[in-house]
Structure 1
Amino acid sequence: MNLSESLLLKALSDDADTELVDLHCHSTASDGILSPTELVSRAKSQGVTLLALTDHDTLGGVPEAQRTGDQLGISVLPGIEFSSRWGKRPVHIVGLNVDSASTTLREAINLREQLRRERAERIAERLEKRGFAGALQGARRWAGDGVIGRPHFARWLVEEGHVEDSARAFKRYLGAGKVGDVKVDWPQLEETIDSIRAAGGTAVLAHPLKYGLTRTLLRRLVSDFLEAGGQAVELLCGRQNPVQTRELRALLDAVAEECGRPAPLFSVGSDFHQPDQPWRELGCVRLPEGVEPVWKLWQTSANNTG
């Protein structure tokens, strides 16, 4: 396991199913507002007992988050949210409990860092042609030591007074079909899952309801994800309509049966980025009763060590 045995046993006690677990959140290492230390402290104040820091395409914030977790008594899993593609469609795959020393994982991260740098330069060029001089330097300042993403350009546009808020920045300049919407040839879903599993991690399909897919396409995505070795799906990612949750669970069970595979394990997370969004506050959702949580993988391994 990638956690020490004692920490793993503490993180996955017999009460884990009734405690607050959040396996999807972001810090300043990518596009979050809070530093890893601030994030873990907030998670502690929200009652979260098991947290996975899953910044976009980087593990940069994990060591700090784990040190803070040790100090505060909250268990922090090393995680990452990989940018990926399913065909031509962008999808996100979360890797949980990954080994940061994995050569394969480091190669996957390095590739995405390069792709993100190139994308940031192209976004800046496009914005500057629209009269927004200094876009790259401004976004880089907001990103700090983290990877540059579109939210950093949005914050710079707000800071410079070009738009009222980040939502308006995306609506006018950075969202789908806008000037700052630069397409990237991210690695394919299958390659991404292989990278996570090579690092001893668990591959999780992130927020499947947020891709705007028809039911037919969503079934196909889940099927391809399972066939490629994906192990879990985020049943809840932030607060969502209970009807949607029930329908998604039924769809996942049906697809697994059609594929002749066991039903995927279920993950849960807030997709936390900043404090003023209560619908994705840390620890704001729990898995419903009767589902098999992804942390059962680690509970089983922990119990076998005893």
Structure 2
Amino acid sequence: MKNFLENISEEEFFSRVNLHLHSCASDGMLSPKEIVAQAKANGLRMISITDHNTMRAYDEIDLEDKDIKIVKGIEFDCWDGYVFMHILGYDVDFECEELKKLYAHHKCSTEYDIIRIFPRRSAKRVIQAIKKAGGMAVVAHPCCMWTFNMDNTIKRLISYGLEGIEVYYPYRRHRRIIKFYDCENIKKLAEKYSLLKTGGTDFHKDDLSCDTFNFV
């Protein structure tokens, strides 16, 4: 996956790859099988279903599908000090015991960010568990993080083992969130620290063909 991300163009990323999709295993509307079917119908080359704090979606789909590359993924809700954030884990072994300790125990906790009330998942613990599971840790939609110093936050996450940053993301979706950074700022940070650039539409709805990147 790392080699793929290092060599793909931005244009191809927007049209052929979506590494941030949610199914009904957490707070999405479509079943995992429906997501795969729609992704293929829309010409996607690589996808990852990244449900909140669970990998139950992968019980239902064929990871060896010859028509599309499916990367195992998960999105963890966690804190780093005062900053609430989402960390994506890709290419993980979902049977890794350290990772399993961080899974949601039931669907309710995947839908309502219980982590906001009971912050048992630190970003450091999440990133280290992803690494132990053989995966790649990526910070999701960083422009939505409320941090006074994005540079310092990213450097701290790198010290935990962060390898990538979600640069390509439809920030218009979060109209009510005050954003202090934009896509270009995040791209510069990725290049400054040699982080892999990833992206996805954070899809939750029922029609993947209507889901597009929009950075505004």
TM-score (norm 1): 0.58
Q: How many residues align?
A: 202
Q: Select 1:34's aligned residue among 21, 30, 33.
A: 30
Cα gap change, 1:65 to 1:217, in 2 (>3 Å):
farther
- Residue in 1 aligned with 2:122? 188
SS of alignment partner, residue 101 of structure 2? helix
Q: Summarize deviations over 1:237-293 as a string: whole Å, max 9, x none.
A: 2366xx932222123434x2xxxxxx11111111000036987x1xx349xxxxxxx
1:103-142 superposed matches below 5 A? 103-109=97-103, 112-113=104-105
Q: Summarize deviations over 1:217-244 as a string: whole Å, max 9, x none.
A: 211211111111100000012366xx93
Are 1:87 and 2:81 an aligned pair?
yes
- Whether the aligned pair in 1 keeps the contact of 2:35 and 2:208 (CA below 8 Å) is no
Are 1:198 and 2:127 an aligned pair?
no
After TM superposition, give the deviation of residue 184 of structure 1 in Å.
Answer: 2.4
What's the Cα RMSD here? 3.3
- Residue in 1 aligned with 2:95? 101
Q: Summarize deviations over 1:196-228 as a string: whole Å, max 9, x none.
A: 000000000010011243xx4211211111111
Are 1:70 and 2:2 an aligned pair?
no
Question: Who wins on radius of gyration, i.e. which is larger?
Answer: 1
Q: Summarize deviations over 1:56-93 as a string: whole Å, max 9, x none.
A: 000100132335x727x111111100111110322110
SS of alignment partner, residue 222 of structure 1? helix
Cα separation, 1, equivalents of 2:164 and 2:201: 16
SS of alignment partner, residue 60 of structure 2? helix
SS of alignment partner, residue 66 of structure 1? coil
Q: Compare the two structures and name the one with the higher helix fraction.
A: 1
After TM superposition, give the deviation of residue 47 of structure 1 in Å.
Answer: 1.4
- Whether the aligned pair in 2 keeps the contact of 1:239 and 1:270 (CA below 8 Å) is no
Q: Summarize deviations over 1:10-31 as a string: whole Å, max 9, x none.
A: xx5xx96536111111000100
1:1-306 superposed matches below 5 A? 17=9, 18=12, 20-66=16-62, 70=65, 73-109=67-103, 112-113=104-105, 148-150=110-112, 183-213=117-147, 216-238=148-170, 244-254=182-192, 256=193, 263-275=194-206, 281=211, 284-285=212-213
Cα gap change, 1:51 to 1:205, in 2 (>3 Å):
same
- Residue in 1 aligned with 2:175? none
Cα separation, 2, equivalents of 1:48 and 1:16: 14
After TM superposition, give the deviation of residue 195 of structure 1 in Å.
Answer: 0.4
Identity %: 27
Cα separation, 2, equivalents of 1:266 and 1:77: 16
- Residue in 1 aligned with 2:178? none
Cα separation, 1, equivalents of 2:119 and 2:170: 27
Cα separation, 2, equivalents of 1:232 and 1:65: 26
Cα gap change, 1:76 to 1:252, in 2 (>3 Å):
closer
Cα separation, 2, equivalents of 1:90 and 1:75: 31
Cα separation, 1, equivalents of 2:116 and 2:191: 35
TM-score (norm 2): 0.80
Cα gap change, 1:225 to 1:28, in 2 (>3 Å):
same
SS of alignment partner, residue 65 of structure 2? helix
Q: Summarize deviations over 1:176-195 as a string: whole Å, max 9, x none.
A: xxxx9962213111111010
Cα separation, 2, equivalents of 1:55 and 1:217: 28
**2:111 alignment partner AA:** G
SS of alignment partner, residue 33 of structure 1? coil
Unpaired runs of at least 5, structure 1: 1-7, 118-142, 152-179, 257-262, 287-306
